């Protein structure tokens, strides 16, 4: 059995390349990369002489047979991208899926990923979070992705190209309002690393007018918790369901789901309400 090894590479600071990354790249029988010139230079600087094969987002699917051939010949294959962790807004997923359906091993050398660094330095909640990568560029898909953020309670991390930063901030402002906190992390691990923190409204003003340069990650605060439903709210919803002819069990299930209240409590209350309704009629 051979191994496919996803090797994380630096997102800007070459000192972040790990000793294990160097060892795997040195030993690999084939290194798949997005840009042979760029990866070739990195390997040259590390003193590594490897056989390179280009695999970018357009050629990933077509490259699968060659990757499988190399593995079947007993060679270990490394997969790197231009920066960071392969498979994160980068090629990797399709090759991993194909190799994971064979007897070969899929493993990784973990390392830099811009979204993880931005999240952990943001100061926003990290216990639960969502990573949405790049928002769709336009149309219904973009509108839907942004609409999802309106209700999303978790901190959400987004990647954005510099020339689309301003528009994305404005779109977030329109849909999410100006109050939520946002962190704009730029050029992480590089000399000009900057982390801007403020409200969405302030971000729109701050980044207006100047063409931003470099690479950006946005970390957006999640939606505030909705206030817990009161007993009156639960009664009102249950009575509406019961009046519509819904059974006690189904009414309780629907209202528990809507309000987040414990199922048993809602069921008992639904029973009481349906009985007092029966007694009145």
Q: Of 123 and 177, which CB lies nearer to ligand SAM in the complex structure?
A: 123
Q: Of 129 and 267, which CB lies nearer to ligand SAM in the complex structure?
A: 129
Residue nearest to ligand SAM (CB): 84
- Nearest approach in angstroms of CB 67 to ligand SAM is 19
Site for ligand SAM in 185-224 (CB under 6 A): 185, 187-190, 215-217
- Nearest approach in angstroms of CB 113 to ligand SAM is 4
- Nearest approach in angstroms of CB 15 to ligand SAM is 13
Question: Which of 39, 63, 109, 159 is the binder for ligand SAM (CB under 6 A)?
Answer: 159
Helix/strand/coil for 7: strand
Q: Are 15 and 27 contacting, i.e. CB atoms less than 8 angstroms apart? A: no
**Residue 2: Cβ-neighbour burial (10 angstroms; 0-12, 13-18, 19+):** buried
Beta strands across the sheet bearing 155-160: 129-134, 155-160, 216-220, 181-186, 194-199
- Nearest approach in angstroms of CB 79 to ligand SAM is 11
Rounded CA-CA distance 220/178 in Å is 11
Q: Which tokens is 272 given?
A: 């009481």
- Nearest approach in angstroms of CB 225 to ligand SAM is 29
Site for ligand SAM in 38-97 (CB under 6 A): 81, 83-85, 88-90
Q: Of 115 and 267, which CB lies nearer to ligand SAM in the complex structure?
A: 115
Helix/strand/coil for 31: strand
Rounded to whole angstroms, what are the CA distances from 277 to 233, 248, 268, 281? 18, 12, 14, 6
Q: What are the backbone dihedrals phi and psi of residue 126, each rounded to the nearest 5 degrees, phi first?
A: -115, -5
Question: Which of 12, 119, 124, 182 is the binder for ligand SAM (CB under 6 A)?
Answer: 12
168 binds ligand SAM (CB under 6 A): no
Number of neighbouring beta carbons within 10 Å of residue 167: 14
The angle formed by the CA atoms of residues 164, 169 and 170, to the nearest 5 degrees, is 100
Question: Which of 5, 17, 70, 113 is the binder for ligand SAM (CB under 6 A)?
Answer: 113
Max Cα–Cα distance, the chain, nearest Å: 88
Q: Are 261 and 255 contacting, i.e. CB atoms less than 8 angstroms apart? A: yes
- Nearest approach in angstroms of CB 142 to ligand SAM is 16
161 binds ligand SAM (CB under 6 A): yes
Question: Which of 11, 17, 30, 203 is the binder for ligand SAM (CB under 6 A)?
Answer: 11
- Nearest approach in angstroms of CB 132 to ligand SAM is 11
Rounded CA-CA distance 21/104 in Å is 20
279: Cβ–Cβ under 8 A, 6 or more apart, which residues?
none
Count of residues that interact with ligand SAM, criterion CB under 6 A: 23
- Nearest approach in angstroms of CB 258 to ligand SAM is 37
Binding residues for ligand SAM, per CB under 6 A? 11-12, 81, 83-85, 88-90, 113-115, 159-161, 185, 187-190, 215-217
């Amino acid at each position: 059995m051979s191994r496919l090894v996803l090797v994380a590479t630096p997102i800007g600071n070459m000192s972040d390349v790990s000793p294990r990354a160097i060892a795997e790249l040195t030993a690999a029988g084939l290194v798949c990369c997005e840009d042979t010139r760029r990866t070739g230079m990195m390997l040259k600087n590390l003193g590594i002489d490897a056989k390179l094969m280009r695999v970018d987002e357009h050629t990933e699917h077509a490259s699968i047979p060659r990757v499988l051939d190399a593995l079947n010949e007993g060679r270990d294959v490394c997969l790197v991208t231009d920066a960071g962790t392969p498979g994160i807004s980068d090629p990797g997923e399709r090759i991993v899926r194909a190799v994971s359906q064979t007897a070969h091993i899929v493993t990784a050398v973990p390392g830099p990923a811009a979204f993880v660094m931005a999240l952990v330095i943001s100061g926003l909640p990290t216990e639960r979070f969502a990573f949405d990568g790049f928002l769709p560029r336009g149309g219904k898909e973009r509108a839907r992705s942004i609409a999802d953020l309106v209700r999303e309670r978790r901190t959400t991390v987004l990647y954005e190209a510099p020339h689309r930063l301003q528009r994305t901030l404005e779109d977030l402002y329109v849909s999410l309002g100006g109050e939520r906190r946002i962190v704009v992390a730029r050029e992480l691990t590089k000399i000009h690393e900057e982390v801007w923190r403020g409200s969405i409204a302030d971000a729109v003003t701050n980044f207006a007018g100047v063409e931003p340069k470099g690479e950006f990650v946005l970390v957006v605060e999640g939606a505030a918790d909705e206030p817990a439903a009161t007993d009156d709210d639960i009664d009102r919803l249950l009575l509406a369901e019961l009046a519509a002819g819904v059974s006690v069990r189904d009414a309780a299930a629907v209202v528990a789901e809507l309000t987040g209240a414990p199922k048993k409590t809602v069921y008992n209350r639904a029973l009481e309400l349906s009985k007092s309704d029966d007694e009145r009629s």
